[in-house]
Amino acid sequence: MAIRSTTNIPPQKNKATMKKIHLSHKQRLVFYFLLSFVLYIIAVVVIQTSISKKHQRETKTEVAKTYLSIAQKELNNGQDINEVLKILPQNYRLTIINNKGSVCYDNIANSTANHNERPEIISAKTDSVGVYFRTSETTNQDYIYVATQLANGNTIRIATPYEVSNQYLANIDNILLYIAVFVFFAAILLAIYFSDKFLGVMTTLKNFVASAEKGNVDYEAVHFPDTYSGEVGSKIISLYKQLEISKLQIIEEKDRNRKMKQEMTNNISHELKTPVSSIRGYLEILLGSKPVPDDKRQYFLERSYSQTLRLSNLINDVSIINKMEESAELFQKEKITIAEIANEAIVELEDKIQERNITIKNNISDSIAINGNHSLVYGIFRNLIENAVFYAGDNITIGMECHREDQNFYYFRFYDTGCGIDEKYITRIFDRFLRIDEGRSRKNGGTGLGLSIVKHAVLFHNGGIIAKNAATGGLEFFFSLEK
């Protein structure tokens, strides 16, 4: 007979029991407020019950003391004890105890116990009135005991039942209940209102993050309520937007630098091509199989030397610009006098200045000094003077002056009375390898980087520079250097 094998399959749990209960934020808020309200009511009831018990006990004690005083007075005056009982409420217990602690009289129960050890009796003998709260051993009922001494030495004790009534709970002023309920529901409504605003902020931020992850953020569609959390949300979005703009600017700056470097590389390649080709051509002629006359040989050597100087100047200028752009911290600063440096550049170019019959006016005061780099400031004045000497024309005047200053900067004017330049070149005058007159630039050995070096040197000293054609003719440069 075949035996069927069975596998113990655990019973499936009820999906309904496994499903977690998810409450909305409003439901959770109402639940927490309701729980808080219930706990508050319980606390109030407990505290009020305690206060009520204490108040009732104190009241009953004072009433018992009053009856005790009346009973003491009547008994001391010889009044019959039965007459005294008529004065007391029916539920009051009256006990007379002698000096030995034995009960002489008790209107409710007979007791053979010695009462001298009872706390109220001990207090009555030392104080005017003894008071104690406890359960009677005779009747097994809670009493407030008050006792005092009689004139004959016995002790009179009155006991009143200590039963706390909770009837006060039913008599609570309805206005308090109405206020509590009103405050509860008002608090819930306010909490829901502000939580909706806060949830709106969180939802907006959540949607914003989702959009940011997809890269399609619409800042115009992002709105926050006029609340503290909304202000925080707006600042978060604003910071993210600034970071995004900064990121784009960095990318654009890198792209611009890449294009500039590529353009500069192409320009350098172009600038190197002509002198290298010229030197190569001259050397090929000199090294050729045909003899070269001495005068021609000297000419080719001089031209080769001239092109070599041009290459050297080009390499030096490119090196200076790259150093200022990428390693400006390598340029050390010291106290330098501007007029002295300008005179150095004038002396260096004195031969070319005299050759073109140019007048130089250095009106910069000897007292003007800054914390700067000597080499770069020298480059500013040398390149400006050289630019004017080579391209402004003969029989002109070149001038320089510090026309004003403020707390942080000196402001300089450099000018010539030459021919000026076409207005279309004014905005590009500081561009690298810009040549307004291609033929004259190459003839004078210029690299096309002089004014670009001037601009970078001014920026290194936290200043600014502009150029314009003077109304009276010639070219003017206005630049500032940080003190």
Which band of pLDDT confidence, cut at 50, 70 and 90, is reported for residue 342?
very high
My answer on whether 318 and 245 are in the same domain is: yes
pLDDT band for 414, please (50, 70, 90 cuts): very high
Mean of the per-residue pLDDT values of the chain? 78
Specify the pTM: 0.46
In this structure, of 13-17, 348-352, 377-381, 420-424, the range with the lowest mean pLDDT score is 13-17
User: Are 368 and 447 contained in the same domain?
Assistant: yes
The pLDDT of residue 7 is 44
**One domain for residues 351 and 267:** no
**CATH number where 60 lies:** 3.30.450.20
Domain boundary among 296, 325, 354: 325
With contact defined as beta carbons under 8 Å apart, do 107 and 160 qualify? no
Quick one: 292 and 350 in the same domain? no
Return the number of other C-beta atoms located less than 10 Å from residue 145's C-beta.
Answer: 26
For residues 373 and 263, what is the distance between their CA atoms, to the nearest angstrom?
28
**What pLDDT shows up at residue 5?**
46
Domain for residue 385, yes or no?
Answer: yes
Same domain (yes/no): 475, 339: yes
Q: Say whether both 304 and 354 belong to one domain.
A: no
Q: In whole angstroms, what is the distance from residue 350 CA to residue 340 CA? A: 15
Residue range(s) defining the domain that contains residue 82: 33-169
- Shortest CA distance to 132 belongs to which of 108, 158, 110? 158
Could you give the CA distance from residue 483 to residue 463 in angstroms, rounded to a whole number?
10
CATH code for position 291: 1.10.287.130
User: Does 474 reside within a domain?
Assistant: yes
Structural domain contains residue 297: yes
Mean pLDDT of 444-455: 73
Dist. CA 139–CA 110, nearest whole Å:
10
| Chain position carrying tokens 């729980």 | 35
Domain limit, last residue, from 135, 169, 203: 169
In a domain, 119, yes or no: yes
What's the gap between Cα 459 and its chain centre?
Answer: 32
Give yes or no: residues 295 and 406 share one domain. no
pLDDT at 6 over 50: no
- Pick 237 or 460 by higher pLDDT: 460
Tally of CA atoms within 13 A in the half-sphere of 225 that contains its CB: 14
Say if 283 falls within a structural domain. Answer: yes
Give Cα 351 distance to the centre of its chain.
62
Decide if 315 is inside a domain. Answer: yes
39-60 mean pLDDT: 80
38 and 149 co-located in one domain: yes
> How distant, in Å, are the alpha carbons of 195, 306, 315, 435 from that of 33?
13, 93, 79, 81
Question: In this model, does residue 439 exceed pLDDT 50?
Answer: no
Q: With a cut of 50, say whether residue 141 has pLDDT above it.
A: yes
Q: What 3-state DSSP class applies to 264?
A: helix
Q: Which of 274, 291, 325 is the last residue of a domain?
A: 325
Token pair belonging to 302 = 């001089």
Q: Which amino acid is at 417?
A: T
User: Per-residue pLDDT tens for 212-227?
Assistant: 666 666 666 666 666 6
**The domain spanning residue 351 has which CATH number?**
3.30.565.10
Residue 458 has a pLDDT of: 92
| Position 196 confidence tier, pLDDT thresholds 50, 70, 90 | low
Which of 211, 230, 229 has its CA nearest to residue 219?
A: 211
Q: Using CA atoms, how far apart are residues 397 and 401, in angstroms rounded to an integer?
A: 13
Alpha helices in 88-138 (DSSP H): 119-126
**187: Cβ–Cβ under 8 A, 6 or more apart, which residues?**
33
Same domain, 354 and 461: yes
Helices (H), 327-415: 338-348, 350-355, 374-391
| Whether pLDDT at 165 is above 80 | no
Q: Is residue 182 part of a domain?
A: no
What's the CA gap between 470 and 280, in Å, rounded?
44
CA-to-CA distance for 401 and 415, rounded, in angstroms?
A: 9
Q: What's the rounded Cα separation, in Å, for the pair 268 and 279? A: 17
Strand partners for 397: 359
Quote the tokens at residue 151: 């004139």
Q: Which of 109, 105, 102, 97 is nearest to 141 (CA)?
A: 109
Structural domain tally of the chain? 3
Q: Is residue 466 part of a domain?
A: yes
- How far lies 330's CA from each of 65, 261, 319, in Å? 101, 21, 13
Phi, psi of 399 (to 5 degrees): -130, 155
Q: What is the pLDDT of residue 402?
A: 92
pLDDT tens-place string over residues 25-38 = 666 767 777 777 77
Q: Do 150 and 41 share a structural domain?
A: yes
Nearest to 89 by CA among 143, 168, 150, 161: 161
Residues 96 and 153 in one domain: yes
- Residues 156, 64 within the same domain: yes
